[in-house]
Amino acid sequence: MQLSEIESTHLCRVPSVTASLEPGHETLGSTIRALVDALPVPDLLLGADEVAALRTLPPESWCPVSTHVRLVQRVRAQLGDAVIRSIGATIFAATQEGAVRAARPSVRTVVFGFDRLYRSTNRGPDIGSWQVARFSAGDALLQKTTPHDCVLDEGFLEAMFRTLQVPVVIYQENCVRNGADRCDFRLASHVVDARWTGGVAADGPYH
């Protein structure tokens, strides 16, 4: 893939994945670069030319979300879910761990701020969302209707909670991969103190 094949000023286009899953849904170039950087042996998985081209995307450029989604699908086909979950954790470490360590938010702050975090790197008229369907001490239910990979998101969330030193078990009660119209993330923990039930975010996902 040649550099000239990517229009990266405001919108990136990768020839193999030019159409967005939802018309107008775009994700930041930084999210695609973070994904590529988190891959084990990316040159072998995607090819050296494609990796080199993707790494030239300006972080602030807006790209069709299908670029991100289909890259994950290609990696899953080769390596499976366990590696996808690990990649999610690696992306968290590279992009959000510093902010989380500095702010030390409660689980409540993370859960109620997760949709805001999602919208900071995705835009468009119909991009899905993260909604809190239930929240109580040691228990929460997050409903996801975004097109991004749910196992990747599990790994991201698991790494976030490990950073907060709050043991949380995450499992999906429903999943679009099994025909559901959304993914339901159940969060369960024996922690019921302020680490879980602290203040709700006001101005950002970690405040």
Tokens at residue 203, please?
């101005």
Q: Minimal CA–CA distance to 149: which of 169, 191, 179, 177?
A: 177
Would you say domain 104-197 falls under CATH 3.30.1650.10? no
The alpha carbon of residue 194 and the mean position of all alpha carbons in its chain are separated, in whole angstroms, by: 26
160 Cα distance to chain centroid:
12
pTM, whole model, 2 decimals? Answer: 0.84
Angle, to 10 degrees, between the axis of helix 81-95 and the axis of helix 29-38?
120
pLDDT in tens, 117-168: 999 999 999 999 999 999 999 999 999 999 999 999 999 999 999 999 999 9
Three-class DSSP category at 197:
helix
Give per-residue pLDDT as tens, 61-119.
999 999 999 999 999 999 999 999 999 999 999 999 999 999 999 999 999 999 999 99
Q: How far apart are CA 27 and CA 85, in angstroms?
A: 20
Domain ranges of the chain: 3-79, 104-197
Amino acid occupying residue 183: C
